[in-house]
Structure 1
Amino acid sequence: MRRTFSIAFSFLFCFASQSFALEKTIYGLNEYALLADLDKQLAAKLDTGAKTSSLSAHDIQRFSREGETWVRFRLGLEGADDSVIERPLSRISKIKRRAGDIDPEENKTYTARPVIELQLCLGQAQRTIEVNLTDRSAFQYPLLIGSEALKQFEALVDPSLKYAAGKPDCAPDAPSGE
Structure 2
Amino acid sequence: MRLKMLTLCSALLMTCGAAMANQPNVYGLSEKALLPELDLEVPAKLDTGAVTASLSAQNIKLFKRDGEDWVRFELAVEGEQEGKELELPVVRISQIKRRAADIPEGESKDYTSRPVIEMAVCMGGVKENIEVNLTDRTSFSYPLLIGSTALQQFDAMVDPSLEYSAGNPECTS
Is TM more than 0.5 here?
Answer: yes
Give 1:23 deviation, angstroms: 2.0
Residue type of the alignment partner of 2:50: A
Identity of aligned residues (%): 56
Aligned counterparts of 2:32 and 2:146: Cα–Cα separation in 1: 11
Alignment of structure 1 residues 59-74 onto 2, 5 Å: 59-74=59-74
Aligned counterparts of 2:24 and 2:75: Cα–Cα separation in 1: 31
Give 1:99 deviation, angstroms: 1.4
Which position in structure 2 is the counterpart of 1:57?
57
Give 1:83 deviation, angstroms: 2.3
Residue type of the alignment partner of 1:152: Q
Residue type of the alignment partner of 2:44: A
Which segment drifts farther, 76-85 or 97-106?
97-106
Residue type of the alignment partner of 1:29: L
- SS of the equivalent of 2:116 reads strand
Which position in structure 2 is the counterpart of 1:161?
162
Give 1:100 deviation, angstroms: 2.1
Which position in structure 1 is the counterpart of 2:132?
131
Aligned counterparts of 1:161 and 1:61: Cα–Cα separation in 2: 37
Distance 1:156 1:21, change over 3 A: farther
Residue type of the alignment partner of 1:23: Q
Contact residue 126 and residue 154 of structure 2 kept, 8 A: yes
Residue type of the alignment partner of 2:157: L
Give TM-score scaled by structure 2 length: 0.85
Which segment drifts farther, 95-104 or 73-82?
95-104
Residue type of the alignment partner of 1:124: G
Aligned counterparts of 1:91 and 1:20: Cα–Cα separation in 2: 37
Give 1:21 deviation, angstroms: 8.7
Alignment of structure 1 residues 93-112 onto 2, 5 Å: 93-103=94-104, 105-112=106-113
> What 5-or-longer segments of structure 1 have no aligned partner?
1-14, 174-178
Cα RMSD after superposing both structures: 1.8
Distance 1:129 1:157, change over 3 A: same
Give 1:87 deviation, angstroms: 0.7
Which position in structure 2 is the counterpart of 1:176?
none
Aligned counterparts of 2:134 and 2:94: Cα–Cα separation in 1: 10
Which position in structure 2 is the counterpart of 1:75?
75
Larger Rg: 1 or 2? 2
Distance 1:20 1:102, change over 3 A: farther
